[in-house]
Amino acid sequence: MDDQNRNLILATALSMVVILIWFVLFPPPEVPEDPNAVPPQATESADTGNGEDIALTPPAAGTDAATTALTEMEMTEVALDEAERIDIETPELIGSISLRGGRIDDLSLREYNETLEDDSPIVRLLAPTGGTEPYYALYGWAPAGDLSFDDVPGADTPWQLESGETLGVGSPVTLVWDNGNGLVFRRTISVDENFMFSVTQNVENTSGADVRLAPYGIVARHGLPDDLQNFFILHEGVVRKVDGQLDEISYDNVTDLDFVERERAQAEVASVEQNGWIGFTDKYWMTTLIPGDGQPFTSVARYVASADIYQTEARLPVMSVAPGGTSEVTTRLFAGAKEWETIRDYQDEAGIDRFVDSIDWGWFYFLTKPMFWLLHSLNVAIGNMGLAIIALTLIVKAALFPLAYKSYASMARMRELQPEMEKIKERAGDDRQKMQQLMMELYKKEKVNPASGCLPILLQIPIFFSLYKVIFVTLELRHAPFFGWLQDLSTPDPSSIINLFGLLPYAAPDPQSILSLIFIGILPILLGISMWLQQKLNPQPTDPTQAAIFAWLPWVFMFMLGGFASGLLVYWIANNMITFAQQYIIMKRHGYTPDLFGNIRSTFQRKKPDAK
C-alpha cells in the first residue's frame, strides 16, 4: 500500500473517530418519560428557617384509567372543569385561576405559537393537575405555634370570589376563605400588561388569642417537561438569586440533592437576607417567585420523590397576629416568556435584583451580553435577524482586523517559505530533531513567527461560543425568519439533499434523526465550501498525513455541524467568507497570487521582480 492510500485511510478513520466522539458528547435528545405516571399525593414538613416547623402539602398528582384514553388537550379540559375558575385575560396572557387552592394553574402565552404552522396552538406555560404536565403556582400559609393544617389555607382550600370578575390589567380579583375558628384569609391577585402577577396574602385574626403562621409561595412541576432540551450549553431547571449570587440547579441535580428524612424529600435550602428570587427556567419560558424588595425569606429547591414533583419555594418568616389584628405580605410571580427587554425593565424599573441573569448567558457572559445587545439593536434597525447576524459578523471582523492583518501577513511569509521547508525536510530525512532545528533557524533568519496565525483563531473561539449561546438560548432567535426556506434561525436548515432541496416531492428527514446528519441542507454545504476556501489560503503541513487530515476537515465539519441552528451557520459562513476576502487581499498585497484550484504545495507563486 503506497503512502497516499495509507494516509487517505488514516484520515478517513480519524474523521470517523471525530464523528463518534461528537455523538458521545452531543447525543440526540432522549425521549422524555410520561410525566403523568406519578404516584399519589405526599405530605412533607419543612422548616421556616426561624426554628419553627411548618407543613407544605403538594397537591395530588396522577391520572386514572378513564382519562388515559383521552388526548392531551381533552385531559387538560377535563382537569380545568373540575373546579370553579376565574378567567385571566391580558394582551400577553390567557388562562384561569382555580378556586380550589387558589392556584394559578392555567396560563398560555397569546403571542407565541408552538410551531410556524398557521393552525399551531399558542404556547401553554402552566397546566392543572389531572391534565398533562401539571405545572402551577400555589400560595398559602403554613401553621406554627398552636395552629393546625385545618386552620390555614392549603392546596385544596375552597376559596370564594369576594371581588372582581376577570383578572386583567388594572382589574384585580380578591379571594376569601373563613376557617370558622376566627381567622379570615384573603388573597388579592393582580397582573400587569406583560408577565408579572402580584399576590397579596392577608390574614385577619378575629379570635381571642395570638396566632402564629408563615406565608409561602410554591412553583411545582410534576415530572420533567416534554420539551426538555437536555443539552449541555443550556441550563434548564431551578434558577435563583440569593443576595446577588446566581444559583442554577439542573433537574438531574435536583433529584441528587441531600435526602432529608424529616421531609421525605431532597432539598436545598438557602437564606435570603435582602433580595432574591427562585423558580423554574426552560429554554424560552420561566416561572419565578419574587418576594418584595428587602424581604428576607428561605429559598428552597427540592424534589418530592414519592410524587415525582420538582418544587421551588419561597418561605417567608413566621408572623404573629394579635387578636383583632391583620397581617399581609405581597409576593410577585413572573410567568411568561424570557423576553430580554421585558426582563431588563423588571430589573431596572421594578427593582428585581439582577433579574436579567435569569437568561442563561453562559461562562462568557461578559461577551454574550454585549453581543446580544448589539445583535438585538441591529435586528431592530434592519428588521431581519439573518441580516443582523451578518452585520454583527462584519463588525466583529472589523474590530479584529488590525490583529488579523499581522496574522495574514505572517501566513503569506510562511507560504513563501514553503519550498525552503520542503528542502529542509528532504535534507533532514528521518531526523526530526535536526529538521526542527533547521526550521527554527529558517524562521529566525526570515523573521517569521509560525504561531502568529493562531491568535485570531484563538480570539474567535470565545466569540463563536458566545454567539452560539445567543442564537441557541435567547428568545429573540425563536421563529426569526431570514429569507426563502429559512423561516426559523433557531432551528437547523430544513432543506435536504434527499429531496434536491425541495425540488422533489419528498419530505426531508426529521431534524432529530441520524439521517438529517447525512442528507444535509444548503447551509451546511455552503459552510463546507467556505471552510475549504479559507483552508486553501493557509500554510499546509509538511507532513502528508497531517495534510490529508486537514484536507478532510471542512467536509467532516460540514456534516457534523449540519444539525446546528441555521442562524449559527449563517454567522460561520459569513465569517469564513469575510476572513477569506481579507486574507486574499492582504496576501496579494504582499506579492502572492492565490491559485485556489492548483496543487496545494504550489498554491502561491511569488511574483517576479520588475525588470530594470
- Listing DSSP states for 131-151 in one string gives SSS-EEEEEEEEEETT--GGG
Q: Please check the confidence at residue 273 and state whether its pLDDT lies above 70.
A: yes
In the chain, where the domains are located: 40-360, 369-606
From the list 372, 415, 422, the residue with the least C-alpha distance to 392 is 372
Rounded Cα distance between 344 and 348, Å, is 6
C-alpha to C-alpha distance for 334 and 207, rounded to whole angstroms? 35
* Range name among 144-153, 345-354, 447-456 with the lowest pLDDT average: 447-456
- Biggest alpha carbon distance in the chain? 114
Residue 238: what pLDDT? Answer: 95
Q: What is the pTM of this model?
A: 0.79
94-98, 154-158, 229-233, 603-607 — which is least confidently predicted?
603-607
Q: What is the pLDDT of residue 339?
A: 95
Type of residue at 357 = D
Q: How confident is the model at residue 608 (pLDDT cuts 50, 70, 90)?
A: very low
Q: Which is more confidently placed, 8 or 303?
A: 303
Residue 185 contacts residue 202 (beta carbons within 8 Å): yes
- What number is the average pLDDT over the span 546-567? 81
Quick one: how far is CA 52 from the chain centroid? 38
Distance CA 345, CA 473 (A): 19
The larger pLDDT score, comparing residue 236 to residue 78, is at 236
Give the least confident one: 199-203, 440-444, 479-483, 579-583: 440-444
Can you give the C-alpha Rg of the chain in angstroms?
31
610 to 13, 124, 448, 606: CA distances (angstroms): 48, 73, 25, 12
From the list 77, 79, 84, 46, the residue with the least C-alpha distance to 61 is 79
Residue 72: per-residue pLDDT: 67
Q: Which residues contact 530 (CB under 8 A, 6 or more apart)?
A: 572, 573, 576, 577, 580
Q: Which 8-state DSSP code applies to residue 28?
A: P
User: Average pLDDT in the 555-582 region?
Assistant: 86
* Number of C-beta neighbours around residue 533 at 10 A: 19
Q: Residue 529 corresponds to which cell in the numbers above?
A: 465550501
Contact call for residues 68 and 144 (beta carbons, < 8 A): no
Nearest to 135, CA basis, from 79, 209, 191, 215: 79
Task: Please check whether the domain covering 40-360 is classified as CATH 2.70.98.90.
Answer: yes
Q: How far apart are CA 485 and CA 504, in angstroms?
A: 15
Using CA atoms, how far apart are residues 392 and 464, in angstroms rounded to an integer? 12
Q: How confident is the model at residue 450 (pLDDT cuts 50, 70, 90)?
A: low
Q: Environment class of residue 609 by beta-carbon count within 10 Å: exposed (0-12), middle (13-18) or buried (19+)?
A: exposed
Q: Is residue 471 classed as helix, strand or coil in its secondary structure?
A: helix
Nearest to 335 by CA among 218, 240, 194, 187: 194
CB-based contacts of 381, cutoff 8 Å, min separation 6:
388
If you average pLDDT over residues 576-593, what whole number do you get?
78
The answer to whether 241 touches 357, Cβ cutoff 8 Å, is yes
In this prediction, what percent of the chain has a pLDDT beyond 90?
40
203-252 pLDDT, tens digit each: 999 988 999 999 999 999 999 988 887 777 889 999 999 998 999 999 98
CA distance 339 to 376: 11
Min mean pLDDT across 48-57, 212-221, 515-524 is at 48-57
